[in-house]
Structure 1
């Protein structure tokens, strides 16, 4: 059983983009671990409405890339926008991408990848409003359900979660 890091800010996380991949990773026999810049709990949302909270397992500044087999970045508009302002979170994402291990990002989560300067030369998808940001950062944006480019897995929105989960679990299986 390997550990899979889920990195989120303290609020603004799209609930299903955290809980559904979390369950898929768990069902595949891996241990999901919630990382965040702050200890305590994180607040998820169903679009703009508050949903459940979830306890943080590890503060990202205390996390080591070597402890995890993969990294999942859930979306929600406010979540990656807050993460990209946190140096430890951005550094962790940059180091993880450099490790060659799977990194999976859905919806607005590629904003954190852009901040980490790791999309250049990659083919990826996201929520449509990020396409200009991705292109400006040197990535190739495409409108597809799930895209794998080297160690990066991306999807556009909650409707893509089944394909996203399948790609994440397949990457963990090798």
Structure 2
């Protein structure tokens, strides 16, 4: 399974990129870093600069059809930058219109608020996104991880870095189901 990780050139929470990335690899999948610009992304440890990571494809080059699933890491800045980029929003929306699973943690849901794909869904996130999610037609719950199947695809959401183990376990299981039981 080929999994796109959509992040802005800077501002992604490093642990919310690296831990799910490792989970995809351990499940036998192939993660790809997709961003709005080529080169490298600058990750953060909350407000402090973390490591940089190479971009595999830009949203201008990548197509939803070449991926089996999407992961949206959080960090405050990255999702906020992504929601202002029409190509990034369209890329995320494409996973919903094609019935592919999507996993988002923390502030990563902001891109999906902008993509207008949350109506009728129950999900979780960092608590400050609750009103945004409700205004976008979603139902917000304060749970470690929430799996919501609505229409042709599944959305797996989580609140924060402390929930990463449950998040990774849930999304790799759902990605396997979508693939028909193979590796994530």
User: Which bracket does the TM-score occupy, shorter chain normalised?
Assistant: over 0.9
Secondary structure class of the residue paired with 2:44: strand
Question: Unpaired runs of 5+ in structure 2?
Answer: 178-184
Counterpart of 2:76?
A: 77
What whole-Å deviation, never above 9, does each CA across 1:129-160 have from its counterpart, x for those lacking one?
00001001110000000001111000000000
Counterpart of 1:156?
A: 159
Q: Which runs of 4+ in 1 moved over 2 A?
A: none
Q: Distance in 2 between matches of 1:106 and 1:99?
A: 21
Counterpart of 1:110?
A: 109
Deviation, 1:69, is 1.0
Question: Unpaired runs of 5+ in structure 1?
Answer: none
TM-score by length of 2: 0.93
Query: Is structure 2 residue 36 aligned with structure 1 residue 18?
Result: no
Deviation, 1:171, is 1.2
Cα root mean square deviation, aligned: 0.6
Secondary structure class of the residue paired with 1:108: helix
TM-score by length of 1: 0.98
Secondary structure class of the residue paired with 1:62: coil
What whole-Å deviation, never above 9, does each CA across 1:96-133 have from its counterpart, x for those lacking one?
11211110000001110000000111000000000001
Q: Distance in 1 between matches of 2:36 and 2:126?
A: 24
Aligned residues: 173
Counterpart of 1:99?
A: 98
Deviates more, 1:109-118 or 1:58-67: 58-67
Q: Distance in 2 between matches of 1:167 and 1:98?
A: 22
Counterpart of 2:52?
A: 53
Q: Distance in 2 between matches of 1:83 and 1:31?
A: 22
Query: Is structure 2 residue 164 aligned with structure 1 residue 165?
Result: no
